[in-house]
Structure 1
Amino acid sequence: MTYKEILSHLYALGRFGMKPGLERITALLAALGNPEGKLAVVHVAGTNGKGSTAAFLDAVLRAGGLTTGLFTSPHLISFTERFRIGGIEIDETEVVSLARRVIAVAPPGSTFFELVTAMAFLHFAERRVDLAVMEVGMGGRFDATNAASGELAVITPIALDHCTWLGDSLAAIAVEKAGIIRPGRPVVSALQESAALDVVVEKCRADESPLFLCGREFDTTWESGFLAYHGLGIEIPHLVPGIAGRHQAMNAACALAAAELLGRQGLTVDKCAMERGIAAARWPGRMEFFDTAPRILLDGAHNPAGSLALARSLADVPRRRLILVVGVMGDKDVAAILAPLLPVADEVFTVTPPLERSLPAEDLAACCREQGGQRCTAAGTVADGVRRAREAAGPDDLVLVCGSLFTVGAARAFLLGREFEAVRG
């Protein structure tokens, strides 16, 4: 099969959705010789910030001279973004080779994400990375990445999202996220709502896993424009995060705490490397600016907590007017996603992301108007929305594209003149 044929095959599997359980991925990895057992793995789970936290940790470890594998999902533009070694994306030829081998031994009913996760484990094991940073896809307990026994678990802020699959309360969702915790292995956690924190604390107690909590064992503060890290055993006073947004402070802190703990296990990174890594970290589509006229900001905020963090970060972004381009998935809490953003938007263009479960632009526009967003226009495709927003904006205005990673991915592809590979999962 060619690269495009591989993507078509994997995408077709994605149509059958999520199937809880680890039995298929366990059998698949066994057929591949259990590559996950040859890897040191850090799992990064949570609702918001897990991709940024994984990117910070990967950059810090690489700055310290370690060879890392980084697995993330979903991609923004190209499927190859999901697999990085030493910060470099996998090439299409390797995707074809890995996918052929994985597909050949996959048990019946294997899902898109199970096959892709197996590809990541196989790729990283064969390249002999020092550590694999694995962003958990959804949940944690039954996520395919959890087939590996992690050296360390990182849990970013837990919020309500994917409630159909994970539960309709913070406590229920926290149970799923906390499933990445391993007996006796350290856990780094961001600040959590009390209902989620209670679950994490109890899981750590039951498993005798030491918990390192942001705001308690480590923390960060903004001081004179710099981010100061108050760590488990070190202080770094002058950090400049390479990923924008004040909310990235906690993501950076969790990554640094994880790096400190990995140092106790022999993967040592010194303070200078930590500082360089935090500065070098990049995570496209998250508070990503395009320095055009007007400026364009891409952010993948796709749930209420994410849109609230985005709205707060906008307070630090100078502009005359804010032109919003928004597209969301139909299974999201649309009203809650829009609520923090509509009051600060001067004009809104709604779009339909190129995915089957997208909410049509016309329906989204109706939701905006119901919430008081009167200057709202259904623009159609993501590209059309970006074009119309640019036409409406003055040189000192800011165009913000948000609502879904798929919206942001399509917009980024349009702005860069690249093809958008609409493979979900």
Structure 2
Amino acid sequence: MSERTPEEADRESRGLIDAYMAEADAPDVPAGSGDVPAGEAGEAGADEEAGLRALLSSALIAGPDPDVAQEVLAEPDGGAAAVADAQAEEEVRRIYLDILARAPEHDVQPSLDRVRDVLELLGDPQRSYPVIHLTGTNGKTSTARMIERLLREKGLRTGRFTSPHLHTVRERIALDGEPISPNAFVATWEDVAPYVAMVDERSQAAGGPRLSFFEVFTVMAYAAFADAPVDVAVVEVGMGGRWDATNVADGEIAVITAVERDHERWLGHDLVDIAAEKVGIIKERATVVVAEQHEDVEGVILSAAAQHGATVLREGTEVAVLDRQVGVGGQLVTLRTPAGVYEDVFVPLHGRHQARNAVLALAAVEAFFGGGALDAGVVEQGFAGVDSPGRLEVVRRSPSVLVDAAHNPAGIEALREAVEEAFELSHLVGVVGVMADKDAEGILAGLEPFLAEVVVTRAGTERAMDVDELAEIARDVFGEERVHVAARLDDALDAAVTLAEADAEEVVTTTGVLVVGSVILAAEARTLLGRG
């Protein structure tokens, strides 16, 4: 295409200026007086922008400083940027729904071949950075966040892969502590999609399944981390360990939080069998940081570590929480690792379980850097910057509304201890909803000693237990008079607040509401209360 002559460029510029001035002279149209199609509105905005720029370039409205025009011309178009962001978010949603149509997250096939095949076609991105790999039953996400925060305080660029998400699927893949951007999410999907389709076709031709939801996201995470690029990836298993899609990476550090019963439909009921799946993430000559475990579980872990020549750092032996004091907004902890003792470290999270998570995270990061002590300032600033949304989080005051994602009996027990320790609440009302595959009776039995009343509800997902079924179980545990039912979460929250306030002598300090039972319920409550 030939370049425009100066005369042609001048005519085009004058045409834009005339159009802009005509638009400026037109009477204002009151908001809401007529609908303009989005496409036409966008075109009009673009024409107006072009006209303004032509007008500035003509020097007809330049200010006393000739640089003013150039500054205005250089300013980004905020409206266009907002539209682009919205379009990217909509594309993220479309991609998410497309991936969601695959086999569900908990459908773990005893094979890593499909994930390996896709990653091999992509050049094995998971081998371009070191990996700290986490498994266990409770505390994985909080521990992963602590590890990542310490690594960032050391100046490293980090990737973090955790699940499930609270509000946006982009939370699952985090770069430098922030959810991957909409544009990067879309770009990552576009990079991997052809190879996912290729392996899907190959697998189905052989009578196998397509990649599952979680397998696709694992591929995307490893690809996004390589593209960033990151210095280190902190990766949480989805479920189990041995056959978890994330296990295609070789974690030089493995962290095993407390192993309890959960996902029993897939992992079984026996703790030894569950542990046998989780130790599958231990690689040759790795360092394994292990939370305090049931005796038989610890035996499984130590045996697997020995088989792989791995170094083991156990809570209560090589690492320990020496002291902890409840503080405003968290706790002061003293932590011991093989490299030394770190005194009076503030962790802005509640509960003994979070102190235990902290010492695991600290030991893992020390091991990553070769086993030496970390600078006290790095530890102090790293832990001070930790957050863990939906983990005993105060989302409202007067009365206090707490949100926690605990969804199994062991998690409920840790929650009970933390609530009783950190919050002086004489009348606590629960809002409880659980998934259909969870131990509802065990969860409710754990809540009964510290909840005055409970409002049973249902999260907005097909996986949630029917509210009437849950109510029957709750009545068996709490008694008829302490159980209330509200099928919708917003109604359940209103009812719980009313119940809490009705019994209170001092509403601000002695009553509260606890939303608990599932990650999805916690996320929905955060959204309703303005934290989503």
TM above 0.5, yes or no, is yes
Relative to structure 1, the CA distance from residue 103 to residue 201 in structure 2 (aligned partners, 3 Å threshold; closer, same or farther) is same
**Distance across 2 between alignment mates of 1:417 and 1:306:** 23
From 304, 307, 318, the counterpart of 1:206: 307
Q: TM-score, normalised by structure 1?
A: 0.95
2:124 match: 34
1:421 match: none
**Distance across 1 between alignment mates of 2:478 and 2:371:** 54
> Does the 8 Å CA contact 1:348/1:373 hold for their aligned counterparts?
no
From 467, 470, 478, the counterpart of 1:372: 478
1:10 match: 99
Alignment of 1:352-367 (within 5 A): 352-367=458-473
2:400 match: 295
Gaps of 5+ in 1: 419-425
From 490, 498, 502, the counterpart of 1:383: 490
**Distance across 2 between alignment mates of 1:407 and 1:50:** 19
Q: TM-score, normalised by structure 2?
A: 0.76
Higher Cα radius of gyration: 2
2:441 match: 335
The alpha-carbon deviation at position 413 of structure 1 amounts to 1.4
The alpha-carbon deviation at position 401 of structure 1 amounts to 0.5
Farther-moved stretch of structure 1 (378-387 vs 226-235): 378-387
Relative to structure 1, the CA distance from residue 321 to residue 3 in structure 2 (aligned partners, 3 Å threshold; closer, same or farther) is same
2:135 match: 45
**Distance across 2 between alignment mates of 1:26 and 1:223:** 44
From 108, 112, 115, the counterpart of 2:213: 112
RMSD: 1.6
SS in 1 for 2:478: coil
Alignment of 1:131-170 (within 5 A): 131-170=232-271
Deviations 1:131-159 (A, max 9, x none): 10001110011111111111110000000
SS in 2 for 1:236: strand
**Distance across 1 between alignment mates of 2:159 and 2:325:** 34
1:188 match: 289
Relative to structure 1, the CA distance from residue 224 to residue 326 in structure 2 (aligned partners, 3 Å threshold; closer, same or farther) is closer
Deviations 1:243-277 (A, max 9, x none): 222211110000000011111079x8422201211
> Percent of counterpart pairs with the same letter?
37
Farther-moved stretch of structure 1 (280-289 vs 94-103): 94-103
Does 2:167 correspond to 1:77? yes
2:350 match: 244
Farther-moved stretch of structure 1 (5-14 vs 149-158): 5-14
SS in 1 for 2:243: coil
**Distance across 2 between alignment mates of 1:230 and 1:393:** 41
> Does the 8 Å CA contact 1:236/1:275 hold for their aligned counterparts?
no
> Does the 8 Å CA contact 2:160/2:174 hold for their aligned counterparts?
yes
1:285 match: 390
1:399 match: 513
Relative to structure 1, the CA distance from residue 221 to residue 405 in structure 2 (aligned partners, 3 Å threshold; closer, same or farther) is same
Relative to structure 1, the CA distance from residue 45 to residue 82 in structure 2 (aligned partners, 3 Å threshold; closer, same or farther) is same
Number of residue pairs matched? Answer: 417
Deviations 1:292-344 (A, max 9, x none): 21111111110111011111112111113101001101111111111121121
Aligned amino acid, residue 279 of structure 1: A
From 409, 412, 425, the counterpart of 1:307: 412
SS in 2 for 1:380: coil
**Distance across 1 between alignment mates of 2:102 and 2:391:** 28
Farther-moved stretch of structure 1 (192-201 vs 92-101): 92-101
2:367 match: 261
Relative to structure 1, the CA distance from residue 223 to residue 393 in structure 2 (aligned partners, 3 Å threshold; closer, same or farther) is closer
SS in 2 for 1:416: coil
Relative to structure 1, the CA distance from residue 227 to residue 363 in structure 2 (aligned partners, 3 Å threshold; closer, same or farther) is same
The alpha-carbon deviation at position 83 of structure 1 amounts to 1.4
> Does the 8 Å CA contact 2:500/2:511 hold for their aligned counterparts?
yes
Q: Which structure is higher in RCO with an 8 Å CA cutoff and minimum separation 6?
A: 1
Aligned amino acid, residue 391 of structure 2: R
Farther-moved stretch of structure 1 (284-293 vs 40-49): 284-293
**Distance across 1 between alignment mates of 2:266 and 2:467:** 25
Relative to structure 1, the CA distance from residue 410 to residue 174 in structure 2 (aligned partners, 3 Å threshold; closer, same or farther) is same
